[in-house]
């Protein structure tokens, strides 16, 4: 990890490191690692019964890259991928990078209007798609958007609604009119295309855009964060370095590949250290994840807090041998301290790390290290990553003293090029000095450890008092009957806002709102005690496991018949 020059006098840190940034493209670096670790396990996909070594994975990647060139795709073209976790996702990630194509990650949960928007926003020329996933019929949705598919030759689509999209590549067996089969594309590249690939390699630059990931807020259309080879290859490397990954490690990746967590913290952290990527299933399932860790003797496990909570709470949890685990990453949303402690104690993840970041910053800006004391690893998001700068600023943009809350800003190699074809929103996010404004409230202590207090938009102001929902959530986690909790602010005519807690109780437990409020009294300030308590079985979630608090707020406003009007 980066080093810091003594105690801080202001909330600014720079990740000084003796380890240089990687100056390669993803394709060039992948080739080097595949040659070095040719006989090491690279990819294990349990639901497809796939187990490939690095040499075998490279052969598949090269075949697809040549096939994509044979289809007439050229560097800079956008290639979408709309699929759950599988072998084809991994191959496509590395093959597009080798061919200089920009991979566009499409959320597996997207429906018609979202798919329409994403494909047209960035002008995807080709799309790699699964047949279906859970309740989503991908092929059916594509036919609804582009009925011309059924009368088009594969690779020759001309659609009125999707004018840029010409090539559809389908994962799976059987033929579908208008679609090329993924396995057929693997065989399309001849010697000419492989020679073209070799000629192309030295021409590609590591600052070229190589990936577009859509980020969504509570309002407005999704934004296409545009990332380079340099952004995500280096971030993957330093993430893996913080966990001390080597070619002996086996990383269980139950998080979605379409998200930075899967494709950067997962795939790129592995290939930059020669570790094995293990996919337990298409989508997250606590049982298949635990089975994969035991069967594959995984040394690292990834997940957002809700995933670890589900694994720890699974009825069969105690029957699994998790002794192979050493490390892993919990990230994606604030990590409850009690959950972290249980992962260390009950899952053998003695070197588990916490990572914090956002898609626009490749994504990780801070991470705990294996050397950090347990109290630091369970109560902070670590220190600044190598070659990255961080500052915490007040509402006027001034750097605040250590320990003072303000907006988390970051600068360095990891900051995206911008939002695709959206200069206005890019300028709102990245200021003239190159600082990415995250919208997160954070503190940095005198030793450089960062703590995320909440989102600026999530902060609740009750009767003039600033209340950070995460603080209340952490406190309520101490209740012996509480398995998970989320806190939001609701409009209130008298105080402006009041707190509302959604609580999921542990299996078999019962409690009342009065029990929860009584637990708070005398322990936290009266204005921090939630006025409203709702017991739930689940929270509204994104596919990446992030809780959608705006949906909770909307549901409660409607349920309670509250007025959005606030007092001055």
DSSP H or E stretch at residue 140 = helix 138-145
The total number of residues shown for the chain amounts to 568
Domain topology for 54-215: Rossmann fold (3.40.50)
Q: What b/e readout covers 302-329, taking b as 16+ CB neighbours within 10 angstroms?
A: bbbbbbbbbbbebeebeebebebbbbbb
Cis preceding linkage at 363, omega within 30: yes
Start and end residues for every CATH 3.30.300.30 domain found in the chain: 460-560
- pLDDT: is 542 or 518 the higher one? 518
Q: How far apart are CA 89 and CA 211, in angstroms?
A: 13
Confidence of residue 564 (pLDDT cuts 50, 70, 90): low
- Average pLDDT of the segment spanning 469-487: 93
- Average pLDDT of the segment spanning 254-279: 97
* CB 81 within 8 Å of CB 127: yes
Token readout for 221 is 């259309």
Q: Which of 565, 448, 365, 476 is nearest to 5 (CA)?
A: 448
Instruction: Output the pLDDT for position 219.
Output: 44
**Phi, psi angles (nearest 5°) of residue 549:** -65, -30
Give me the sheet containing 124-129, strands edge to edge.
180-181, 167-170, 124-129, 78-82, 102-106, 209-215, 223-228, 418-419
Q: How far apart are CA 7 and CA 327, in angstroms?
A: 28
Q: How far apart are CA 465 and CA 70, in angstroms?
A: 62
- Average pLDDT of the segment spanning 482-497: 90
* CB 117 within 8 Å of CB 88: no
- pLDDT: is 310 or 543 the higher one? 310
Mean pLDDT of the chain: 94
Confidence of residue 150 (pLDDT cuts 50, 70, 90): very high
Q: How far apart are CA 405 and CA 393, in angstroms?
A: 8
207-235 tens-digit pLDDT: 999 999 998 654 467 899 999 999 999 99
Start and end residues for every CATH 3.40.50.980 domain found in the chain: 54-215
* CB 461 within 8 Å of CB 531: no
Q: Answer yes or no: is pLDDT of 481 > 50.
A: yes
DSSP string, 422-433: -HHHHHHHB-TT
Q: How far apart are CA 289 and CA 302, in angstroms?
A: 10
Within 10 angstroms of residue 471's Cβ, the number of other Cβ atoms is: 14
Q: Answer yes or no: is pLDDT of 497 > 50.
A: yes
66-110 tens-digit pLDDT: 999 999 999 999 999 999 999 999 999 999 999 999 999 998 988
- pLDDT: is 110 or 486 the higher one? 486
Helix and strand numbers, DSSP H then E, in the chain: 18, 29
**Superfamily assignment of 460-560 in CATH?**
ANL, C-terminal domain (3.30.300.30)
Q: How far apart are CA 91 and CA 122, in angstroms?
A: 22
For 321, residues 6+ apart whose C-beta sits below 8 A from its C-beta are 294
Start and end residues for every CATH 3.40.50.12780 domain found in the chain: 12-16+231-455
DSSP string, 377-402: HHHS--EEPTTEEEEEE-TTSPBPPT
Residue with tokens 């509250």: 562
Q: Which of 226, 476, 518, 174 is nearest to 361 (CA)?
A: 226
- Average pLDDT of the segment spanning 29-42: 98
- Average pLDDT of the segment spanning 410-415: 98
The residues with which 51 forms a beta bridge, in sequence order, are 44
Confidence of residue 1 (pLDDT cuts 50, 70, 90): low
160-203 tens-digit pLDDT: 999 999 999 999 988 889 999 999 999 999 999 999 999 999 99
> Residue 237: is it exposed, middle or buried by C-beta count within 10 angstroms (0-12/13-18/19+)?
buried
Q: Answer yes or no: is pLDDT of 326 > 70.
A: yes
Whole-number percent of the chain with pLDDT over 90: 82
Residue with tokens 């409850």: 336
Q: How far apart are CA 142 and CA 130, in angstroms?
A: 11
Q: How far apart are CA 526 and CA 333, in angstroms?
A: 26
- Average pLDDT of the segment spanning 412-424: 97
Q: Which of 263, 272, 264, 267 is nearest to 245 (CA)?
A: 272
Q: Any idea of the CA torsion for 183, 189, 190, 196, to the nearest 10 degrees?
A: -160
Just give the CATH number of 12-16+231-455. Answer: 3.40.50.12780
* CB 448 within 8 Å of CB 454: no
Token readout for 133 is 């996933």
DSSP H or E stretch at residue 302 = strand 300-303
Give me the sheet containing 41-45, strands edge to edge.
50-53, 41-45, 276-279, 250-252, 300-303, 327-330, 353-357, 364-367, 383-384
Q: Answer yes or no: is pLDDT of 398 > 60.
A: yes
- Average pLDDT of the segment spanning 3-19: 89
Confidence of residue 567 (pLDDT cuts 50, 70, 90): very low
Instruction: Output the pLDDT for position 374.
Output: 86
Residue with tokens 């060039």: 28
Q: How far apart are CA 268 and CA 245, in angstroms?
A: 12
For 435, residues 6+ apart whose C-beta sits below 8 A from its C-beta are 391, 409, 410, 411
> Residue 248: is it exposed, middle or buried by C-beta count within 10 angstroms (0-12/13-18/19+)?
exposed
* CB 237 within 8 Å of CB 268: yes
Instruction: Output the pLDDT for position 566.
Output: 35
The residues with which 246 forms a beta bridge, in sequence order, are none
């Amino acid at each position: 990890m980066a080093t810091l020059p003594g105690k801080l006098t202001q909330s600014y840190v720079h990740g000084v490191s003796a380890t240089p940034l990687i100056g390669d493209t993803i394709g060039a670096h992948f080739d080097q690692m595949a040659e070095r670790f040719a006989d090491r396990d690279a990819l294990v996909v349990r639901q497809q019964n796939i187990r490939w070594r690095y040499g075998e994975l490279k052969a598949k990647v090269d075949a697809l890259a040549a096939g994509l060139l044979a289809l007439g795709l050229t560097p800079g073209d956008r290639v979408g991928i709309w699929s759950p976790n599988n072998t084809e996702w991994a191959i496509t990630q590395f093959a597009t990078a080798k061919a200089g194509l920009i991979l566009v990650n499409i959320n597996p949960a997207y429906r018609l209007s979202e798919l329409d928007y994403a494909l047209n926003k960035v002008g995807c020329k080709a799309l790699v798609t699964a047949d279906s996933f859970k309740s989503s019929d991908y092929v059916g949705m594509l036919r609804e958007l582009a009925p011309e598919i059924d009368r088009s030759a594969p690779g020759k689509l001309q659609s009125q609604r999707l004018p840029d999209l010409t090539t559809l590549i389908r994962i799976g067996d059987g033929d579908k009119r208008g679609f090329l089969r993924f396995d057929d594309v693997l065989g399309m590249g001849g010697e000419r295309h492989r020679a073209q690939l070799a000629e192309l390699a030295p021409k590609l630059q590591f600052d070229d855009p190589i990936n577009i990931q859509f980020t969504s807020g509570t309002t407005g259309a999704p934004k296409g964060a545009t990332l380079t080879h340099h952004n995500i290859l280096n971030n993957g490397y330093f993430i893996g370095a913080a966990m001390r990954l080597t070619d002996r490690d086996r990383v269980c990746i139950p998080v979605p590949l379409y998200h930075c967590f899967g494709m950067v913290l997962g795939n790129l952290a592995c290939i930059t250290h020669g570790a094995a990527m293990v996919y337990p299933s298409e989508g997250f399932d606590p049982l298949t994840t635990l089975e994969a860790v035991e069967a594959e003797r995984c040394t690292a496990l990834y997940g957002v807090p809700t995933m670890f909570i589900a694994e720890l709470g699974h009825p069969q949890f105690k029957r699994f041998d998790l002794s192979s685990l050493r490390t892993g990453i919990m990230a994606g949303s604030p990590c409850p301290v009690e959950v972290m402690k249980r992962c260390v104690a009950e899952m053998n993840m003695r070197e588990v790390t916490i990572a914090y970041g956002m898609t626009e910053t490749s994504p990780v800006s801070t991470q705990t290290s294996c050397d950090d004391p347990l109290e630091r690893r369970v109560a902070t998001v670590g220190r600044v990553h190598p070659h990255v700068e961080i500052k915490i600023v007040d509402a006027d943009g001034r750097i605040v003293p250590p320990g003072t809350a303000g907006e988390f800003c970051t600068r360095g190699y990891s900051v995206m090029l911008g939002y695709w074809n959206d200069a206005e929103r890019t300028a709102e996010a990245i200021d003239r000095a190159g600082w990415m404004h995250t919208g997160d409230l954070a503190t940095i202590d005198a030793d450089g450890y960062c703590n995320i207090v909440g989102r600026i938009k999530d902060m609740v102001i009750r009767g003039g008092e600033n209340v950070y929902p995460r603080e209340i959530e952490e406190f309520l986690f101490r209740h012996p009957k509480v398995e998970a909790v989320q806190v939001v602010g609701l409009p209130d005519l008298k105080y402006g806002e009041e707190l509302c807690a959604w609580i999921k109780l542990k299996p078999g437990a019962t409690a009342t709102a009065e029990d929860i409020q009584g637990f708070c009294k005398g322990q936290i300030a009266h204005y921090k005690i939630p006025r409203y308590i709702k017991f739930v079985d689940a929270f509204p979630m994104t596919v990446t496991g992030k809780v959608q608090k705006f949906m909770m707020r909307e549901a409660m406003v409607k349920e309670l018949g509250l007025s959005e009007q606030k007092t001055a």
